[in-house]
Amino acid sequence: MVTGSAVPSRHKIEESDKGLRRVDSGACHHFFGRLILATSTQSIPSSATLPQVKWGPWTRAITPSFADCFFIALLAWLFVCGANGWKALLTDGDTGWHIRTGQYIIANHRVPAQDLFSFSKPGAVWFAWEWLSDVWFAALYAMGGLKAIVLFAAALITAYATLLVRYAIWRGSNALLAALVALLAVGSSTMHFLARPHLFTLILLPACVWLLEVDRRKNTRWIWALVPVTAIWTNLHGGFLVFLACLALLAGGCAIETFLGRRRWPEVRRYSALLVACSAASLLNPYGIALHTHIVEYLRLDWIKDMVQEFQAPTFRTEGQLQFEALLLIGLVAAGFLLKRRRVTESLWILFLAHSSLVSVRHAPLFAAIAGPIVASEISAWWSASGAKKASILGILHQVGKDITPSFRWTSVWPAGVILALAFIDAPVKWPRDFPAEVFPTQMIHENADLLQSGRVLTTDQWGDYLIYSYYPNQKVFFDGRSDFYGEKLGQEYFHLLQGAYDWQSILRRHRFDVALLPVAWPLASLLKLDPAWKVVKDDRRAVLFVHLGHHSAVD
């Protein structure tokens, strides 16, 4: 949703004032404290005295590791045990039109090239550039409804956190510190813990960068698997462009390190070739190079930056953003020390994503995904070199982290088993059967289905998404979450309507609205109550449903 003094943003960063929290990031730190307490009070022996156990592949497959415990505990804490954990994943209505788009693609065996959902731009050219995610969401919905979608989203989020822990440990981080920084990254990323396609980027970006770092230590043929991965990623979410930028920074960083006296020319050639190959693979999408042009132009539009809150700079007011601020400051300090040691590539990654997240807060989770493991390994190196006494608290915690580190280095079948078990459980887990009523006027919409489907409805972009989810193909909307599709002209008209600006009446007449479903906080709701041409059908003090007296369903 566009920003404004009278209406909350579509990609709201602040926690909902209606009592629905997306993720309790404070709970993450409580969870971490419990983890430290549990591990530190069990008299873990020194690694020098541990018996040497040979772990076979089958033993590891069935024995839960600390990484598995971290995954399962975080899943339970954030989603299973929380009152609003599952519902919070559906607080963005975009999920609705993603489902309906996927159903259209499955039914028609083609990706739409024209608009499906609006009466304001019917048949206009539309880039359905997350079409593969849409198909996946539709398939999940067919298998298990909204339950399947939120379970999949929660699994991706907890896998993302676990991936960061293992990535940091691979880089040399102490296990406890890796877990702490991963939870800080989780808190920084809560704004995007939503059942939307960007979750694929959230897990693919650190995974692919990790593979790049593995290859830097010792060249491997697996690095070329990034080419087909990029092709798939391109059709899942536009975040593939961030990975291409990181790959370009890797090649450039190696070149700079060469000029600083470290011979990196073979790496420059290798990663430049990989960049070319991955860039070519990204053209394998329904729109070719036009997709890249469209995304870049969209991200550069000033009206988008002015009106959509997630494209604006962070405010550092909420708990999640304060955690992001802490990680940002530590990351910038780490970048300075890395530059001092002529490790240019990691510094460029941190600085690039730090700048991106300060310009647009939507990039903060991507900064956390890359900077988190680097920060954890750098602090761990300092911690190891600090010479803390073994009997001190820091010394004990350092030894505990060292002792449990090996158990973070593998994953068994337990996380998959827990997800599978949840898939077959209906009670007592509170699975969502609809989008949350705290955000969407679900009852009012379903009680007045005939009226809404018979008129040209003016409503918020969020609620327009929900109308598409509820009544497509019978329901078309004026404006929904696809701000890149509607463009500046319609975007400005929508903004003027929500503000009740000077030209609100002419805009209403131009688009021939005959039904309006508005939040009570919109100035336009008060204006329509005073307009004799409009009649209030329902007012529940959160939303107001109006009908124009010229509409055939209007009653005296």
Summarised one tens digit per residue, pLDDT across range 183-199 is 999 999 988 899 999 99
When computed from its CA atoms, the radius of gyration of the chain, rounded to whole angstroms, is: 25
The C-alpha atoms of residue 474 and residue 449 are separated, in whole angstroms, by 10
Contact predicate 515/548, CB 8 Å:
yes
The C-alpha atoms of residue 535 and residue 528 are separated, in whole angstroms, by 8
pLDDT at 53: 53
Residue 552's pLDDT band, with cuts at 50, 70 and 90, is low
Q: Is residue 201 part of a domain?
A: yes
Sheet strands side by side (includes 515-519): 457-459, 515-519, 543-548, 534-539
Domain total for the chain? 2
The C-alpha atoms of residue 162 and residue 71 are separated, in whole angstroms, by 6
Which pLDDT tens digit goes with each residue over 322-363?
A: 999 999 999 999 999 999 999 999 999 999 999 999 998 899
- The DSSP secondary structure of 387-407, one letter per residue, reads T--TTSHHHHHHHHHHHHGGG
Give me 259's structure tokens. Answer: 């000029």
For residues 413 and 450, membership in a common domain is answered with no
Contact predicate 524/534, CB 8 Å:
no
Which pLDDT tens digit goes with each residue over 91-101?
A: 999 999 999 99
Which pLDDT tens digit goes with each residue over 354-402?
A: 999 999 889 999 999 999 999 999 999 988 887 777 778 888 888 888 8
For residues 419 and 363, membership in a common domain is answered with yes
Q: Is residue 356 part of a domain?
A: yes
Could you check whether the bond before residue 473 is cis, i.e. omega within 30 degrees of 0?
A: yes
Residue 304's pLDDT band, with cuts at 50, 70 and 90, is confident
User: To the nearest 10°, the Cα dihedral for 88, 90, 93, 95?
Assistant: 140
Indicate if the pLDDT at residue 11 is higher than 50: no
Q: Find where tokens 């991936």 sit.
A: 163
Phi, psi of 447, rounded to the nearest 5 degrees: -70, -25
Q: Is residue 215 part of a domain?
A: yes
Span 105-110, average pLDDT: 97
The C-alpha atoms of residue 466 and residue 458 are separated, in whole angstroms, by 13
Cα dist. 74→69, 81, 484 in Å?
Answer: 8, 10, 35
pLDDT at 398: 80
The C-alpha atoms of residue 202 and residue 169 are separated, in whole angstroms, by 19
Q: Is residue 135 part of a domain?
A: yes
Does 313 or 415 have the greater pLDDT score? 415
User: To the nearest 10°, the Cα dihedral for 334, 339, 345, 350?
Assistant: 30
For residues 251 and 380, membership in a common domain is answered with yes
Q: Is residue 432 part of a domain?
A: no
For residues 151 and 285, membership in a common domain is answered with yes
Indicate if the pLDDT at residue 40 is higher than 90: no
Q: How far is CA 308 from the centre of its chain?
A: 16
**What is the number of alpha carbons within 13 Å of residue 135 lying toward its C-beta?**
17
| Torsion sign, CA atoms 266, 267, 272, 278 | positive
Residue 423's pLDDT band, with cuts at 50, 70 and 90, is very high
Q: Is residue 383 part of a domain?
A: yes
pLDDT at 118: 96
Pick from 392, 423, 454: which residue ends a domain?
Answer: 423
- Looking at every residue in the chain, the average pLDDT score rounds to 87
For residues 401 and 446, membership in a common domain is answered with no
For residues 244 and 344, membership in a common domain is answered with yes
* 548, β-bridge pairs: 534
Q: What is the DSSP letter of 314?
A: P
Which residues are within 8 A (CB) of 336 and not within 5 positions of it... i.e. 6 or more apart? 347
For residues 211 and 305, membership in a common domain is answered with yes
Q: Is residue 134 part of a domain?
A: yes
Give me 102's structure tokens. Answer: 């996927």
Packing angle of the helix pair 319-340, 344-359 (nearest 10 deg):
150
Does 50 or 261 have the greater pLDDT score? 261
For residues 368 and 500, membership in a common domain is answered with no
Residue type, position 357, single letter: S
- The DSSP secondary structure of 31-52, one letter per residue, reads HHHHHHHHHHTS-PPPTTTS--
The C-alpha atoms of residue 350 and residue 343 are separated, in whole angstroms, by 12
For residues 452 and 485, membership in a common domain is answered with yes
pLDDT at 553: 62
For residues 406 and 479, membership in a common domain is answered with no
For residues 418 and 472, membership in a common domain is answered with no
Which pLDDT tens digit goes with each residue over 237-288?
A: 999 999 999 999 999 999 999 998 888 899 999 999 999 999 999 999 999 9
Which residues are within 8 A (CB) of 267 and not within 5 positions of it... i.e. 6 or more apart? 216, 251, 254
Contact predicate 308/2, CB 8 Å:
yes
Contact predicate 226/211, CB 8 Å:
yes
Q: Find where tokens 């359905």 sit.
A: 128
Residue 268: Cβ within 10 Å count: 18
Residue 542: domain span:
442-548
Q: Is residue 1 part of a domain?
A: no
SS3 readout for 510-526: HHCCCEEEEECCCHHHH
Q: Find where tokens 């990323």 sit.
A: 189
Cα dist. 432→88, 96, 102 in Å?
Answer: 10, 14, 20
| Torsion sign, CA atoms 142, 24, 419, 223 | positive
For residues 280 and 340, membership in a common domain is answered with yes
Which residues are within 8 A (CB) of 38 and not within 5 positions of it... i.e. 6 or more apart? none
Residue 135's pLDDT band, with cuts at 50, 70 and 90, is very high
Residue 55's pLDDT band, with cuts at 50, 70 and 90, is low
